[in-house]
Structure 1
């Protein structure tokens, strides 16, 4: 029976089979291999999406286009981790650090008063009790990554190295920083209040963030890091919105860890705040200032690392078993900004850090971290001792520290990137 006598459906299947065999035999070259590769990639992406996007009890459409899924607390991605199969969720920390700086006692003048902040999706609903809000991952999110495996992960070597005197070593990753830091002691947490901006990003593969780093170990391949703050990352989120984020790694960003809830690890217990969701409103130049408070600390009883957002949102925890060095304590704390400088057209990027303005411009114009504190071995929040500063190129992004009664230890930081003195 000739092909002309075969029904359309059968003919299609036979032709597909012939094409597949031809591909295998190398009779049809690159275009064929490309189609098979694209098909395999699509299948891989769909599998990954199925792993990440858990069945929701309720779904909320955010005004910015995000979909927020309210997922039962026991079905969140954390519990895909083999070590967490029999884990009993700790709904609250055993201890809070003592000596939390009271935001209510602050006596800032009218020009320096800051305002509360929320997330955009709150406009359209809230998640029920016993669920957590998870930003749904879309196919296009994963496809923007260099591979399915690298989706939701930072590139290697994105930690600032204040102790290094070699500018080539510090700059090899294209990441640039303006930070304050402490080292030389055992640290059990860190806190700061950070004002929130929407820095302009020059290239889609670049980002700008402001965060706290809680670090353990050396700067080698076994570095442990817990990070939290705000970021603008078109590559990760597909837009230029400012978003709350967390990150962790136990091997210097090689294989472990991820942003937000994009892998198993962080256990969220809060039903009101979504990791990776847009923050609103944003500070304006010479206008109202909006800031967020972030506290990360190690629970002395259970040993887990907890995160609190604002004055009342205890978000969840990183179980201590995820880490080697941080299973005990941190050896360094860093606060500040980071950008990627991909050197478009061979010039320094014009991606902004913070507000895009230098520290000397001060309140209402420059970005700040205020009320910087560390947690000591007695679970007390204290002012940091011997606060150092570091930036790779101060004519691109800079940092200036200060200390007063209202703001405690603070610093202004950031800059525009490319300018006449930074090319």
Structure 2
């Protein structure tokens, strides 16, 4: 009976802590950017008394990472995945962080649109990553990626091969992002939207409200008409360099219930003509709960973790 009472008290405490974390972000911490002038800030999104500074990445951006593979034991993730359906776009604000990453590993935050099964899986992936062995530093970088055969023979990052067509070059794919969120300080984010144009059939990418380019419809097979699945979240590569789980962080390196945890907010999925898809269709998925976790609150997810620690072996 005492044990049952203890478990109930712990559950109430955890729920209260998570609720406080959500309230802290939605109505408190993001307001710290209010009235501040940031060199690389182009605009702020204000709604319901919230504020996130949006970074101007003209001097920023790029990435390289193995795609998410749920059968790859080296990949660890904390994300939300949609129910299967017909989706014609998605949008979210990704907060920007600088996680600590081992030299031959990576840490990323992104959205995925995918269709097909087996070797016919097609994906569009957009987000930011820290990948020291690829870029020679520990700066977060923006990337785009695509494939139409489950990463077998097609697809690439940014402009490394024909595929993504850039039309607005105010955003330079490949440069580091300099405006980064800090725990206890200002929160910076980038607003990403990928949507299918009904007239051309191409998948357009909007970055902070600017259409910077598109993925042509004809480079895809199963993704040429619509996406069957949409994911939002974080992923890391775990090489176990020291014989145990990596110390590579996801997001800000904090758990979702901690003050300063990374988050993705304003999550929306679109049907035809960019009509919002209603309903509770996003399910949390975490591959290594002691190391990286995720909490879902309406259109916002809190995610991340420190990697190797007393809780993560």
**TM-score, normalisation: structure 2:** 0.82
SS, match of residue 134 in structure 2: helix
1:191/1:294 contact within 8 Å kept: yes
For the pair 1:391 / 2:291, whether they are aligned, the reply is no
Query: How far is 1:160 from its partner?
Result: 5.0
Which of these residues, 254, 268, 274, is aligned with residue 166 of structure 2? Answer: 268
SS, match of residue 345 in structure 1: coil
1:171/1:392 contact within 8 Å kept: no
Structure-2 residue corresponding to 1:254:
152
SS, match of residue 272 in structure 2: coil
**Which structure's relative contact order is higher, taking Cα pairs within 8 Å and 6+ residues apart?**
2
Structure-2 residue corresponding to 1:336:
233
* Mapped partners of 2:161, 2:132: distance in 1: 20
Structure-1 residue corresponding to 2:68:
159
Where do 5+ consecutive residues of structure 1 fail to align?
1-102, 123-133, 136-151, 162-169, 404-408
Which of these residues, 302, 305, 309, is aligned with residue 200 of structure 2? Answer: 302
Matches within 5 A, 1:226-265: 226-265=124-163
Matches within 5 A, 1:174-213: 174-202=74-102, 204-213=103-112
Matches within 5 A, 1:16-415: 104=45, 106-108=47-49, 113-119=51-57, 121=59, 154-155=65-66, 158-159=67-68, 161=70, 170-172=71-73, 174-202=74-102, 204-218=103-117, 220-311=118-209, 313-362=210-259, 365-383=260-278, 385-403=280-298, 409-415=299-305
* Mapped partners of 1:402, 1:263: distance in 2: 38
* Mapped partners of 1:370, 1:270: distance in 2: 25
Query: How far is 1:105 from its partner?
Result: 5.3
* Mapped partners of 2:161, 2:56: distance in 1: 25
Query: How far is 1:238 from its partner?
Result: 1.6
Query: How far is 1:159 from its partner?
Result: 2.2
Query: How far is 1:342 from its partner?
Result: 0.5
Change in 2 beyond 3 A, CA 1:121/1:153: closer
Change in 2 beyond 3 A, CA 1:383/1:274: farther
Cα RMSD, aligned residues only? 1.9
If you compute each CA radius of gyration, which structure gives the higher value, 1 or 2?
Answer: 1
* Mapped partners of 1:285, 1:153: distance in 2: 26
Query: How far is 1:331 from its partner?
Result: 0.5
* Mapped partners of 1:317, 1:298: distance in 2: 9
2:58/2:172 contact within 8 Å kept: no
* Mapped partners of 1:328, 1:120: distance in 2: 32
2:94/2:189 contact within 8 Å kept: yes
Bigger fraction of residues in strand: 2
Query: How far is 1:377 from its partner?
Result: 2.2
Query: How far is 1:244 from its partner?
Result: 1.0
2:292/2:306 contact within 8 Å kept: yes
SS, match of residue 156 in structure 2: coil
Number of aligned residue pairs: give it: 270
* Mapped partners of 2:68, 2:123: distance in 1: 9
**TM-score, normalisation: structure 1:** 0.61
1:154/1:258 contact within 8 Å kept: no
Change in 2 beyond 3 A, CA 1:114/1:227: same
2:64/2:143 contact within 8 Å kept: no
Bigger fraction of residues in helix: 1
1:190/1:373 contact within 8 Å kept: yes
